[in-house]
Structures are given as structure tokens and as C-alpha cells.
């Protein structure tokens, strides 16, 4: 098999039975890896696992994934030969273009549940930025995993900025090739309590990939939120947010917009709900600084949005843009009222991310109690006709849904059990596959989410806690 470094799959917790640092989230953590074949031809897949000392622990022949299909490995059962207590990183290689997502979670069936999702990194970078980290902040904490894509070891410098954009402290760790190191904020000297943004620096011959997590105490279902998201290496003067919610079944979104340029800037956020646009202008955001509103706080939003409820989308644009005014952003969504305890984070998209084809590696419908939704937003102007095709090797044959995106309604959402080909009954049980969305002549970005839905599938009892996870779709 021709081995190519297509995706660096990052998670500090692949199979964890002993928490190595006291401040890390307690529990026996595991991972699930989903790989999607972006080609119409079969893809042969190999997964190599590395410990943090640079040792290649295990190489797994992943077999073949059918054209435009996907395959999931729940590591404790699917790769039982991986040593118990393993904490590390992995590289997915294939003879065809592939994409991957990683779930970092407590074992299936744990009550309360905790899970977060990150995506595999196809292009590691010399510098990676992180929008939101917390240390002893109202009982929230954070850590990041940094993987070295270079051929030799590298000293990776993490620079931490407070809410005003001031660099507070640094932390340097030596990262072995193909391996990762953990940056636990509780162990960073001089950091203190608060909310921070960060910059991680490798070098030109040692590009890096970064995944960060922030999490509540996990003492009960109401405090079980566990958010995973990817660090970002590239920003722009305009960002696209395919899903943002306000007073939506108890869920609220929050934006975290970071200035990664060298000049102070302001941004305009244009929210779109139900075909109506609302605008908000930020205060000054200095270099390294991060800012963003929480949709559940009326004081942080324009008064015109007081009565707004539901699911929408947003665009964030730099005012008076130039090459020194560059931004990135992440989007949070959580519920802080009964039943509290679920939360997700995903990365806003830049215009160059968008293409006319978008792949979601894992979408489920009543799959052991879990069901998914997809959200698609267009970045181009005009009306585009789109098709979402569901494909799985299991119980349900491929089928497609058709929809349109317009300037007045630029976003599309679909809960997988309600897709037109998902007929009720046994044929719909345990659907686990991929979805490909095509919009010829247009440009789109999107996300998929997944959660345990007792109201749709009660065969497995009611699972409390944070079963909610979100990941960006892969443009091809």
C-alpha cells in the first residue's frame, strides 16, 4: 500500500485507564475513530499509533473502505491489541484521499456520559492558534494535545494571552516525531485562574497540529460538559458560521473571535435567523485577544435580537480589513438549564475552506440510541440547488435529499431520522454512515452533530450527561 500522510488524528486520550495529571478530567477515557473515503474508488487504510516518547506502538491494517463510504473503530473493542492505558496520537494513511474524526469519550454506556469530537488535521502548520482555554475558571479547566509532524523532535512553545490580549506566560515542551505532548493549563507556571487564548509555535521543518479541550467538573450529569475543538493555523477577514442558536430548546451558542493579526481591529457579526439579519459591532480586539458574545445573555447582544429564538447562521467580518487584521473563531453550543450538561465547540470557516462538495464522515440515525443532524451554509451568492446523499454499508441503502440555499435562507438543517429516505421501523435501526452534500455552482461549509436521543430511540434506556458532539464537515 502506498503510505501517505493524509490525516493526523489528534486526541490525547485514545485509550486511557489512568489519568496522568490530577487536574485532568477523571475517568477511564477511550476514543472512537471514523475515517471517510473522499474518493469514489475503494481506499485501503492503515492506522499507526504513537506514544508520547516517539515509540510506534501499533500499526493496524484498517482494511478497505468503499467509495464515498466510511468506517468507525471504537478502539477498546475494534483495536483490542492497543495497550491498556495508552495515551498518544495516531496517523491515518491511505492510497486514496481520506478524512477522519476522533471522539474522546468515557466508555459507551457510562452514565453520565462525556464526549467531544475533533477532526483529523490534513495540513499541520508552523503556528497554530487557540481561541478559548480556561484554568480554574468557575470550575472549568482545559488541556491541549500538540502533535509533531516533523521527522525529528521539536521544542513547541505555547504562549498564553489573557482576556485583554496581554501575554501572561509561556510553556515549552519537547515533542517527539509523530507523537504528542499534553499542555495541562493547571500545570502551566504563572498562568493563574481565568479564561485565555493561546498560540503554539513549532517551526518550518516541524509543523504541528493542535486539539484542545475544555470541560466542567463532571461530578454529575449537569456538570458533564466536555468540549473538543481543533486549533486553527489560518484566518481571514471574513468567517462563516453554519449554525448558531439562541433560546433553542434550552440551548445557547457563544462566539469566540480571536485577532491573530498585528493590528487592533473590530468586527461586524451578521446573524441570520428565519430569513432576517441582525448586526452587532464588537469593541476593539487587540492582537492575540479574543472576544465574543454569549447568545443567552441579552446584555451581550443587540436589543433588536431580544425576541429572536431558534437556529440560524452567522458571518463575521473585519471592519476596514487589511493583511494585518486577521481573525479566527470557534462556536460553542450548550444547555445550562434542565437537563443541563451538554456542550460542543466547532471551528468557524474561512472562505477558502468552501467548495461545492462537503463530506460528513459519521452521521447516525437511531444507532445504539444516537442520532445526528447536519447543518450546511453557503458562502457564495445567489440560489444553488443541493443534494445530500446518505451512504452506509449497513441496514439502509443510499438515498438522497434535495434542497435549495438562497441569499434570504443561506443555511439548511436536517435531523437524520427525518431525512426522506429514513422510513420508520426496523429498516432504520442502527444507521451509521457518511453523508455527501453537493451544490454545483455554489460554495458551502457545514457541521454535523450527534447526541443520544432517548426520545427517538428508547431501546437502550436514558443516558444522561454530555452525549452531544459536533464536527466540521470536510470540503473536497
Tens digit of pLDDT for each residue in 304-324? 999 999 999 999 999 999 999
**pLDDT level of residue 36 (50, 70, 90 thresholds):** confident
> Which DSSP category does 223 fall into?
G
Q: From CA 473, how far away is CA 354, in angstroms rounded?
A: 10
Highest averaged pLDDT of the listed ranges 8-12, 109-113, 249-253, 335-339: 249-253
Of 155, 38, 147, residue with least CA distance to 475: 38
Q: From CA 450, how far away is CA 374, in angstroms rounded?
A: 9
**pLDDT level of residue 333 (50, 70, 90 thresholds):** very high
Asked if 417 contacts 338 with a C-beta cutoff of 8 angstroms, the reply is no
**pLDDT level of residue 5 (50, 70, 90 thresholds):** very low
Check residue 422 and give its pLDDT: 67
- Give the other-Cβ count within 10 Å of 367's Cβ: 23
Check residue 425 and give its pLDDT: 47
Highest averaged pLDDT of the listed ranges 30-34, 69-73, 153-157, 333-337: 153-157
Residue predicted with more confidence, 69 or 1: 69
Angle ∠(448,454,459) on CA atoms, nearest 5: 115
The highest-level CATH class for domain 354-475 is: mainly beta
Check residue 429 and give its pLDDT: 63
**pLDDT level of residue 100 (50, 70, 90 thresholds):** confident
Mean residue pLDDT across the chain: 89
| Among 189-193, 294-298, 409-413, the least confident range | 409-413
Give pLDDT tens digits for 364-399. Answer: 888 889 999 999 999 999 999 999 988 875 444 568
The partner residues of 236 in beta bridges, in order of sequence, read 327
**pLDDT level of residue 11 (50, 70, 90 thresholds):** very low
For the domain spanning 238-351, the CATH number is 2.60.290.11
Q: From CA 35, how far away is CA 15, in angstroms rounded?
A: 18
Phi, psi of 388 (to 5 degrees): -110, 115
3-state secondary structure of 303: helix
Query: What percent of the chain is helix, strand and coil (3-state, nearest 5)?
Result: 5, 55, 40
Give the domain 127-215 fold.
Hypothetical Protein Tm1070; Chain: A (2.60.290)
Residue whose grid cell is 465547540 = 345
Asked if 265 contacts 356 with a C-beta cutoff of 8 angstroms, the reply is no
Check residue 186 and give its pLDDT: 94
Q: From CA 392, how far away is CA 386, in angstroms rounded?
A: 20
Residue 137, exposed/middle/buried by CB under 10 A (0-12, 13-18, 19+)? middle
Q: From CA 80, how far away is CA 85, in angstroms rounded?
A: 12
Arithmetic mean of pLDDT, 348-370: 92
For residue 77, give the H/E element and its range: helix 75-78
| pTM of the complete model beyond 0.95 | no
Asked if 455 contacts 385 with a C-beta cutoff of 8 angstroms, the reply is no
Of 354, 362, 357, 348, residue with least CA distance to 242: 348
User: Which three three-digit cell numbers place residue 309?
Assistant: 429564538
Check residue 264 and give its pLDDT: 97
Arithmetic mean of pLDDT, 421-449: 81
Give pLDDT tens digits for 408-426. Answer: 889 999 999 888 776 554 4
Residue 476, exposed/middle/buried by CB under 10 A (0-12, 13-18, 19+)? middle
Check residue 4 and give its pLDDT: 30
Asked if 145 contacts 93 with a C-beta cutoff of 8 angstroms, the reply is no
Asked if 304 contacts 278 with a C-beta cutoff of 8 angstroms, the reply is yes
Give pLDDT tens digits for 40-99. Answer: 899 999 999 999 999 999 999 999 998 888 898 998 899 989 888 888 888 998 999 888
Positive or negative torsion for Cα 72, 38, 435, 332: positive
Residue whose grid cell is 468515557 = 106
Q: From CA 312, how far away is CA 251, in angstroms rounded?
A: 13
Check residue 220 and give its pLDDT: 92
Over 90: is that where the pLDDT of 240 sits? yes
Q: From CA 205, how far away is CA 189, in angstroms rounded?
A: 28
Asked if 107 contacts 115 with a C-beta cutoff of 8 angstroms, the reply is no
Residue 456, exposed/middle/buried by CB under 10 A (0-12, 13-18, 19+)? middle
Check residue 463 and give its pLDDT: 87
Sheet holding 238-246, edge to edge: 276-281, 267-273, 310-318, 238-246, 349-350
Of all residues in the chain, the percent with pLDDT exceeding 90 is 69
Q: What homologous superfamily is domain 5-119 in, according to CATH?
A: TM1070-like (2.60.290.11)
Arithmetic mean of pLDDT, 201-215: 95
Over 80: is that where the pLDDT of 460 sits? yes
Q: Which residues contact 219 (CB under 8 A, 6 or more apart)?
A: none
Q: From CA 173, how far away is CA 146, in angstroms rounded?
A: 10
Phi, psi of 187 (to 5 degrees): -105, 5
Q: From CA 423, how far away is CA 48, in angstroms rounded?
A: 39
The domain spans of the chain are 5-119, 127-215, 238-351, 354-475
Angle ∠(349,399,387) on CA atoms, nearest 5: 40
Q: From CA 120, how far away is CA 444, in angstroms rounded?
A: 20
Topology match between the domains 238-351 and 354-475: yes
Of how many residues is the chain composed?
A: 476
Check residue 393 and give its pLDDT: 57
H helices of 188-265, in order, are none
Amino acid at each position: 500500500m502506498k503510505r501517505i500522510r493524509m490525516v493526523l488524528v489528534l486526541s490525547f486520550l485514545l485509550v486511557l485507564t489512568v489519568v496522568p495529571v490530577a487536574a485532568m478530567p477523571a475517568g477511564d477515557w477511550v476514543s472512537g475513530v471514523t475515517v471517510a473515503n473522499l474518493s469514489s474508488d475503494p481506499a485501503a487504510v492503515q492506522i499507526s499509533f504513537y506514544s508520547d516518547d516517539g515509540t510506534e506502538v501499533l500499526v493496524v491494517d484498517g482494511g478497505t473502505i468503499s467509495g464515498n463510504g466510511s468506517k468507525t473503530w471504537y478502539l477498546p473493542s475494534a483495536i483490542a491489541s492497543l495497550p491498556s492505558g495508552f495515551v498518544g496520537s495516531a496517523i491515518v494513511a491511505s492510497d486514496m484521499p481520506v478524512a477522519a474524526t476522533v471522539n474522546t469519550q468515557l466508555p459507551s454506556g457510562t452514565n453520565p456520559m462525556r464526549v467531544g469530537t475533533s477532526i483529523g488535521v490534513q495540513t499541520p502548520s508552523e503556528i497554530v492558534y487557540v481561541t478559548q482555554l480556561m484554568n480554574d475558571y468557575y470550575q472549568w479547566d482545559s488541556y491541549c494535545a500538540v502533535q509533531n509532524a516533523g521527522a525529528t523532535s521539536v521544542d513547541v512553545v505555547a504562549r498564553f494571552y489573557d482576556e485583554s490580549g496581554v501575554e501572561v506566560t509561556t510553556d515549552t515542551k519537547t515533542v517527539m516525531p509523530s507523537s504528542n505532548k499534553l499542555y495541562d493549563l493547571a500545570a502551566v507556571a504563572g498562568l493563574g485562574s481565568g479564561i485565555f487564548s493561546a498560540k503554539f509555535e513549532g517551526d518550518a521543518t516541524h509543523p504541528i497540529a493542535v486539539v484542545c479541550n475544555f470541560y466542567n467538573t463532571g461530578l454529575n450529569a449537569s456538570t458533564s460538559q466536555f468540549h473538543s475543538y481543533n486549533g486553527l493555523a489560518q484566518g481571514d477577514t471574513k468567517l462563516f458560521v453554519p449554525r448558531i442558536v439562541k433560546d433553542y430548546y434550552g440551548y445557547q451558542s457563544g462566539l469566540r473571535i480571536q485577532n491573530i493579526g498585528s493590528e487592533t481591529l473590530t468586527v461586524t457579526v451578521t446573524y441570520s435567523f428565519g430569513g432576517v439579519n441582525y448586526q452587532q459591532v464588537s469593541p476593539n480586539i487587540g492582537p492575540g485577544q479574543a472576544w465574543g458574545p454569549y447568545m443567552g445573555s441579552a446584555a451581550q447582544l443587540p436589543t433588536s435580537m431580544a425576541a429572536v429564538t431558534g437556529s440560524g447562521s452567522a458571518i463575521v467580518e473585519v471592519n476596514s480589513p487589511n493583511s494585518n487584521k486577521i481573525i479566527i473563531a470557534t462556536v460553542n453550543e450548550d444547555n445550562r438549564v434542565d437537563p443541563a450538561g451538554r456542550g460542543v465547540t466547532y471551528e468557524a470557516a474561512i472562505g477558502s475552506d468552501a467548495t461545492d462538495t462537503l463530506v460528513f464522515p459519521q452521521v447516525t440515525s437511531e444507532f445504539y440510541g444516537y442520532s445526528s443532524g447536519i447543518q450546511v451554509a453557503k458562502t457564495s451568492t445567489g440560489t444553488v440547488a443541493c443534494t445530500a446523499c446518505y451512504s452506509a454499508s449497513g441496514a439502509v441503502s443510499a438515498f438522497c435529499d434535495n434542497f435549495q440555499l438562497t441569499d434570504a435562507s443561506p443555511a439548511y438543517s436536517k435531523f437524520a431520522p427525518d431525512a426522506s429516505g429514513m422510513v420508520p421501523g426496523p429498516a432504520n435501526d442502527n444507521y451509521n454512515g457518511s453523508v455527501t452534500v453537493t451544490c454545483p455552482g455554489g460554495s458551502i461549509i457545514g457541521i454535523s452533530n450527534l447526541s443520544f436521543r432517548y426520545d427517538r430511540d428508547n431501546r437502550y434506556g436514558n443516558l444522561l450527561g454530555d452525549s452531544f458532539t459536533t464536527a466540521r464537515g470536510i470540503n473536497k
